Amino acid sequence: MKKIFLCLVVLTSLIAAEAPLGVNALSVEVRTLLSQEMLSIEASMQRIFSHIVAGEYEAITREASNIQNSFILKKELKASERKELHSKLSSAFIDLDRSFHETAGKLANAAEFDEKENVSKYYTQMTNKCVQCHSTYAKHRFEKFHD
pLDDT tens-digit profile of 44-91?
Answer: 999 999 999 999 999 999 999 999 988 665 666 788 888 888 889 999
Does residue 48 contact residue 63 with C-beta atoms inside 8 Å?
yes
Most confident listed range (10-14, 48-52, 97-101, 141-145): 48-52
Tell me the CATH class for 24-145.
mainly alpha
For position 72, what pLDDT does the model report? Answer: 60
Residue 26, SS3 per DSSP: coil
Give the CA distances from residue 3 to residues 6, 11, 29, 62, in Å, rounded to whole numbers and listed in that order. 5, 12, 43, 61
Q: Of 63, 81, 62, which is closest to residue 72 (Cα–Cα)?
A: 81
Query: Domain segments of the chain: what residues?
Result: 24-145
Q: Of 115, 102, 101, 126, which is closest to residue 48 (Cα–Cα)?
A: 126
Model confidence pLDDT, tens digit, residues 85-118: 888 999 999 899 999 999 999 999 999 999 999 9
pTM of the model: 0.80
Measured distance between the N- and C-terminal CA atoms of the chain, rounded to whole angstroms:
35
